[in-house]
Chain A
């Protein structure tokens, strides 16, 4: 295992984050705080409790996951797309680095950034609403797995993309709607029966439900299904990446 290379990629990516600290961390935190102010405090104060949880507290897991998923995709896709764009990917391809080592380097950096943002949002939210975490270990595990799976997805997007515009297509047109419709701001039990069934085809529902279960101990879907869904999503992304590197899809001519 080329640990020097993994560390080099990780440190290089993290130094880029530190150099652009404002856009990397401050901006997602600020936008999340705005969500809390609008939905949690302003509108939330007029909303009924959901499953004995105040609306302000109820949206915390969804908001964290919304930001974490989008940030994971954005960080990972940019980290591999930029070397492709400027041509420095050839150095990575000509180095004695396996595909697994490359992925570990890039994904661990993207996960570190997303986890940090998620935890900062959680701390920020604790100042604005009452938060109780019933299963803190599970909360960390689900947050970590969410960061890993969406970072892997971002990595795929970064390799697939042929322009900066394409990097934003998947998060903007697919992930954001799925997260919003996946119960970030509501319990799917509030939906009519038909739409509840339709919503169960949205994989993000399982993610948010599981994460919310870790906070409040109750969930829209059984926690086992949530864990299974996250694991299936993660392994699917890993399989796609393995295939990409095996064939050289859009990275090797």
Chain B
């Protein structure tokens, strides 16, 4: 079983003006996983990342990365981490290759042009290596900040809203890149507003709201536990719903010829089976069946109470 590469215990952050950004956060992140931190604006996602990376002072609590305390052994912990910030903050007049080399050196690594070339090629930036940052499009700049974060071969990668404002192609490229990095053994912590992004690539989901972790669970288990399904069975004629009244999770469709059923995998109930037998018994013919699964977005909205 993989070990926890990041351990967060009773972490709190209160700003000078009294704003509580994080309150008693406890979270362990397993080596090699992709965990998505979901939460509305101002929930504390970026503050949590900033506290782990050293950008924000911690008010109380303890964070270890790779077994080292982020305050006492900050050099060791930071060397393990690559950060892709939410804001694109790049020196506008520098060349792409220079800013990526700069990041590698800043993290205590000697120049390695072969590695830099590999990253730039992987991010489709190699032909732009001598361009100045100011000449790049927004999407290309976002690729550059990812290249900078990967320049020192980090074991842990924080991606703070990596696909905010990028086009669909780039978003899919990034998803592929993230999956590839995970295959290479990189632990990835992702914050995102795009819940389908978390649904697509995360192994585990943590929902943060008002500075507190509301829920942390394996994505598959979460979807199974809270992801209710809806099944719409269209029949060949109008039905008398009273015939099916022994099933409490049923309703009649607006066309009077449909039965709408809510059920969950987790309950392992046999209500669907019973319904189909009843339809057959009452001599109805099934014309069409549609199913709809509750998305992670709906689960998220349920958890944060919106």
**Interfacial residues, chain A to chain B (CB-CB below 8 A):** 2, 4-5, 7-9, 12, 15-16, 19, 82-83, 86-88, 90-98, 248, 252-253
Do the beta carbons of A248 and B81 come within 8 Å of each other?
Answer: no
What's the count of A-B pairs with C-beta under 8 Å? 81
CB distance from A84 to the nearest CB of B (A): 10
Selected contact of A96 from candidates B79, B83, B85, CB within 8 Å: B79
A8 nearest in chain B by CB position: B105
CB distance from B79 to the nearest CB of A (A): 5
Interface residue? B110 (CB, 8 A): yes
Do the beta carbons of A8 and B102 come within 8 Å of each other?
Answer: yes
Do the beta carbons of A94 and B78 come within 8 Å of each other?
Answer: yes
**In the assembly, what is the distance between CA of A92 and CA of B89, in Å?**
12
Which of chain B's residues have a CB closer than 8 A to the CB of A95? Answer: 78, 106-107
Closest 4 pairs (CB-CB, A-B): A87-B89, A8-B105, A96-B75, A94-B53
**In the assembly, what is the distance between CA of A253 and CA of B22, in Å?**
13
Which of chain A's residues have a CB closer than 8 A to the CB of B91? Answer: 12, 82-83, 86, 88
Which of chain B's residues have a CB closer than 8 A to the CB of A8? Answer: 101-102, 105-106
**In the assembly, what is the distance between CA of A12 and CA of B91, in Å?**
10
Do the beta carbons of A90 and B109 come within 8 Å of each other?
Answer: no
**In the assembly, what is the distance between CA of A82 and CA of B92, in Å?**
11
Selected contact of B89 from candidates A5, A9, A91, A97, CB within 8 Å: A91
**Interfacial residues, chain B to chain A (CB-CB below 8 A):** 15, 50, 53-57, 74-76, 78-79, 81, 83, 85, 87, 89-94, 98, 101-103, 105-110, 148
Q: A94-B81, A95-B78, A96-B79 are in contact. Are A252 and B89 (CB under 8 A)?
A: no
A19 nearest in chain B by CB position: B93
Which of chain A's residues have a CB closer than 8 A to the CB of B109? Answer: 4
Q: A2-B108, A8-B106 are in contact. Are A252 and B56 (CB under 8 A)?
A: yes
A9 nearest in chain B by CB position: B106
| 27 A-B residue pairings within 8 Å (CB atoms) | A2-B75, A2-B108, A4-B110, A5-B105, A5-B107, A12-B102, A15-B94, A16-B93, A83-B89, A87-B85, A87-B87, A90-B83, A91-B83, A91-B89, A91-B103, A91-B148, A93-B54, A94-B55, A94-B83, A95-B78, A96-B75, A96-B78, A248-B57, A252-B55, A252-B57, A253-B15, A253-B57
Do the beta carbons of A90 and B79 come within 8 Å of each other?
Answer: no
A4 nearest in chain B by CB position: B105
CB distance from A124 to the nearest CB of B (A): 29
Given contact pairs A2-B108, A7-B105, A96-B75, a sample of 14 additional A-B residue pairs in the complex whose CB atoms are under 8 Å apart:
A2-B75, A12-B102, A15-B94, A88-B91, A90-B55, A93-B53, A93-B54, A94-B81, A95-B107, A96-B76, A96-B108, A98-B75, A253-B56, A253-B57
A3 nearest in chain B by CB position: B108
CB distance from B292 to the nearest CB of A (A): 42
B149 nearest in chain A by CB position: A91
A6 nearest in chain B by CB position: B105
B13 nearest in chain A by CB position: A253
**In the assembly, what is the distance between CA of A98 and CA of B76, in Å?**
12
**In the assembly, what is the distance between CA of A7 and CA of B108, in Å?**
10
Most chain A beta-carbon contacts within 10 A, residue among B74, B81, B107: B107
Which of chain A's residues have a CB closer than 8 A to the CB of B85? Answer: 87, 90-91
**In the assembly, what is the distance between CA of A7 and CA of B89, in Å?**
21
CB distance from A174 to the nearest CB of B (A): 28
Do the beta carbons of B57 and A5 come within 8 Å of each other?
Answer: no
Do the beta carbons of B98 and A15 come within 8 Å of each other?
Answer: yes
